[in-house]
Amino acid sequence: MPIGVFDSGIGGLTVFKALASQFKDTDIYYLGDTARVPYGNKSKETIIRYSLECATFLKENFDVDLLVVACNTASSYAVETLKKYLNIPVVGVIEPGVEAAVAITKNKKVGVVGTQATIRSQRYKNLLEENDIDVFDKPCPLFVPLIEEGRLSGQITQLIIKDYLDELVDAGIDTLILGCTHYPLLKDEIQKIYPHIHIVDSTTTIGKFILSNKKNLKESGKRKIFITDESPSFELLKDILAPNIPVEKVELSKICSL
Ligand code: DGL
């Protein structure tokens, strides 16, 4: 049975792309809730409800036997509820990121950036602190619109990156977790400005968690992307991240069952 992957929108395609290249024979279905993005400024209750609706769509239509929550905001609030209702393994992006950062940091000072909701949840902070890490976290709400406008490099992008991150780098972090699935698209630019910082993002860390949760990886390698609304930014990022994958629009009313 296939893997289901969902995100509030298109950022999760960074995770989808990584999974598609790592698990070539596995069927993977992606749902981007583009009609209701962003989740990052919504309440906990709304994030959980939307996440349940996305997950239920994938489970009921494709009988997925593993769910990947390719959204840090949803991973911060909804994983336990999803596990309870879906009765299949659910892998969020927070634990893989924490595990990688704990393994990489030498000075035990780790920065975390994400949406307002992800940082407010303190999921990263709490898990890192359990591992005796000093955490320097910060919401970076301008990153998502910047990426969705295709501004992945250039002067404005660099200024915004510096405005958010100088403070964390000045505090002495040696590792930075990109706690939002859009942010890997800024990774090269961030690394250019701070070449000495180790950058951890969900795309490189999640594979191991899939391997320990899914038994049958040999399927027919089918892939399909579903979105709840069309938008120019979806087209732009889909061209970059998943150019040859078929896309279907699904009416929000088919997902909003709760
Ligand atoms: N995909 C979301 C995340 O990883 C960012 C976009 C949003 O706010 O919904 O947190």
Residue 236 confidence (pLDDT): 86
The mean per-residue pLDDT over the stretch 181-208 comes to 93
Lay out the sheet containing 109-114: strands in order across: 134-139, 109-114, 175-179, 198-201
Residue 249 confidence (pLDDT): 96
* CATH no. of 94-202: 3.40.50.1860
Ligand 1 centroid to Cα of residue 41, in Å, is 9
Q: Is the CB of 71 under 6 A from ligand 1?
A: yes
Q: Is the CB of 115 under 6 A from ligand 1?
A: yes
pLDDT over 60 at 131, yes or no: yes
Hey, is 247 helix, strand or coil? strand
Residue 128 confidence (pLDDT): 98
Ordered by start, the domain boundaries in the chain are 3-92+205-254, 94-202
Active site residue 71: yes
Ligand 1 centroid to Cα of residue 180, in Å, is 6
pLDDT over 70 at 258, yes or no: no
- Tell me, yes or no, if the two domains 3-92+205-254 and 94-202 fold the same way: yes
Mean pLDDT of the chain: 94
Angstrom distance (rounded) from CA 113 to CA 97 = 12
- Are 245 and 224 contacting, i.e. CB atoms less than 8 angstroms apart? yes
Angstrom distance (rounded) from CA 217 to CA 224 = 17
What DSSP designation does 153 have? S
What DSSP designation does 39 have? -
pLDDT over 70 at 115, yes or no: yes
Q: Which CATH class is domain 3-92+205-254?
A: alpha beta
Q: What type of residue is 171?
A: A
pLDDT over 90 at 94, yes or no: yes
pLDDT over 80 at 60, yes or no: yes
Q: Is the CB of 228 under 6 A from ligand 1?
A: no
Lowest mean pLDDT among 47-56, 107-116, 237-246: 237-246
Q: What are the backbone angles phi and psi of residue 35, rounded to the nearest 5°?
A: -75, -25
Q: What type of residue is 212?
A: S
The mean per-residue pLDDT over the stretch 225-232 comes to 93
The model's pLDDT over 4-53, given as tens digits with 9 standing for 90+, comes to 999 999 999 999 999 999 999 999 999 999 999 999 989 999 999 999 99
Tell me the residue length of the chain.
258
Cis? peptide before 246, omega within 30° of 0: no
Given the residues 54, 71, 140, 256, the one annotated as active site: 71
Residue 213 confidence (pLDDT): 84
pLDDT over 90 at 143, yes or no: yes
Helices (H), 171-231: 187-193, 202-205, 207-211
Token pair recorded at residue 174: 């040696």
Distance of CA 22 to the CA centre of its chain: 17
* Rounded percentage of the chain residues whose pLDDT exceeds 70: 99
pLDDT over 90 at 217, yes or no: no
CA terminus-to-terminus distance, the chain: 25
pLDDT band at 202 (very low <50, low <70, confident <90, very high): confident
Angstrom distance (rounded) from CA 233 to CA 145 = 9
Angstrom distance (rounded) from CA 220 to CA 239 = 23
pLDDT over 70 at 257, yes or no: no
Angstrom distance (rounded) from CA 132 to CA 113 = 19
- Helix/strand/coil percentages in the chain, nearest 5: 50, 15, 35
Lowest mean pLDDT among 32-46, 104-118, 158-172, 205-219: 205-219
pLDDT band at 221 (very low <50, low <70, confident <90, very high): very high
Nearest ligand 1 atom to alpha carbon 40: 8
